[in-house]
Structure 1
Amino acid sequence: MEARVTQAIPTPPWQTPPKPPPRQPLSQELIVTTALRVLDAEGLDALSMRRVAQELQTGPASLYAHVANKDELLDLVYDRVLAEVDIPEPDPARWAEQVKEMLRSLRQVFRSHRDLARVSLSRIPLGTNGVAGMERTMALLRAGGLPDDIAAYAGDLVTSFVTTETLDDAFPGDGVDTSAVQAYVAQIHDYLTSLPPDRFPNLTQMAGPITSLDSERRFELGMEIIVRGLSTYAEPA
């Protein structure tokens, strides 16, 4: 039995037609929220002042009263999302694990918002949330006994590591053909193993680890290498 399609019927002439809900007043917060929604759904290439204005049912010129340009909009979007990163209160006894917890949280935030890792590549986090996050990150790194110059560089190092690892992962909805990726990586593996072992002993022997697609293991291993390396700079309390 076919389902019936219910069509709307006109309002009787003696009744007042229902009014559309009032539009929310335009504000910087609303613009940033809408831009983040567009970014998550459609990606960075689709995000523009015009696209956000279209989503808000207004003209692009209306947005410029609250946001200077797309670059500032991306700064605001990035700063909004940084509030989601969990940075633990420093506990020197758990320093190494706390650094890993922070990096896992940052990675999860990057993976939860489409193309956010790309946005972060050209941004210095100097917004309200970004500066607060930098302060907590420095406090955490210094709690491990790291000298100031090492802690300062480590802040950039770990962020770059998470960004790069996230860029290597496909975001759900990106339309990446995982079977094609696996087939391509398999070809690389076969090529490395086919090289003359007398000339390329390391590549032939390490073809498996080099072409591994286990992103979780690679991320955890990378964190372990970085944290162990940083711990060697720790000074006595």
Structure 2
Amino acid sequence: MNPRERRAARHLPPSPETGTDPRPRRRTAPITVDQVVETALDVIAGEGYEALTMRRLAGALDTGPASLYAHVVNKADLDELLIGRLCAGLDLPESDPAAWREQIRGVCGQLRDQYLKYPGVSRAALAMAPTDRETLRVSEGMLAILLAGGVAPQAAAWAVDALLLYVAAYCLERSIAHRRSADDDTEWVVDREELLRRFAALPAETFPHTTRHAAELTAGEGHDRFDFTLGLMVDGLARR
């Protein structure tokens, strides 16, 4: 079975496994797809998404990289499995026309929280054409919510894509900022007081609005900016 066939087979209903991998491995127990995904998430949680390579994952599983390819076609395939596993943790509500705005925000908030547990993992969701059933379950649920809210089908379809893209980008930016802040020389990227000092030091004649509105530019706690932007997107759909 070639790699494409292996990937397609994984999206079919499960069937009993037959045969064994004849290639030598250090492990005495066989590897499963679930173990591959769980171990990959453990690596990301401890070291960040950028540390996840097929070789690093094989080491964590105490096997050789070649053994992984019996279960995962390539890194892009692994990325899809990771996002699918995180999407499986989302609770999708029954669409309610009277509460569709709150519902769509709630789904996006759940996905944000899943991504932030694993620094940088949302990078795996970017430029992805998903076929994993759990990922498609989330997009299906979001589409149902928007359609129930009276959003036109084309606008709803593009809005799902835009919302998922924003959530992924927001989480990726936060993970990058926090990683940079680990270096004392770049701690200012998440330090509001330092940003205020830097803006105040700018020449007012050149940056009149930045110096005047430095407090507004640096305002916000927790996920205030996320909620603000999500609100703009959802309210824009409502106006359409």
Determine if the TM-score, normalized by the shorter chain, exceeds 0.5: yes
For residue 128 of structure 2, give the secondary structure of its aligned residue in structure 1: coil
For residue 117 of structure 1, give the secondary structure of its aligned residue in structure 2: helix
Larger-gyration structure (1/2): 1
Q: Offset of 1:23 from its aligned partner?
A: 4.4
Counterpart selection for 2:80 from 75, 79, 90: 75
- Whole-Å separation in 2 of the counterparts to 1:112 and 1:32: 15
Could you list the runs of 5+ residues in structure 2 that have no partner in the other structure?
A: 1-26
Counterpart selection for 1:40 from 15, 39, 45: 45
Could you list the runs of 5+ residues in structure 1 that have no partner in the other structure?
A: 1-21
Report sequence identity in percent: 33
Counterpart selection for 1:210 from 205, 211, 217: 217
TM-score by length of 2: 0.77
- Whole-Å separation in 1 of the counterparts to 2:207 and 2:180: 36
Q: Offset of 1:169 from its aligned partner?
A: 2.0
Question: CA separation of 1:191/1:173 partners in 2, compared to 1, >3 Å: closer, same or farther?
Answer: closer
Question: CA separation of 1:189/1:213 partners in 2, compared to 1, >3 Å: closer, same or farther?
Answer: farther
Partner of 1:180: 188
- String of CA shifts for 1:185-206, please: whole Å, max 9, x gaps: 23442145x422xx75533332
Partner of 1:164: 169
- Whole-Å separation in 1 of the counterparts to 2:214 and 2:38: 45
- Whole-Å separation in 2 of the counterparts to 1:41 and 1:190: 37
Count matched residues: 209
Q: How does 1:23-62 map to 2 (within 5 A)?
A: 23-62=28-67
Alignment RMSD (CA, Å): 2.4
Partner of 2:233: 226
Partner of 1:195: 204
Are the counterparts in 2 of residues 110 and 166 from structure 1 also a CA contact under 8 Å?
A: yes
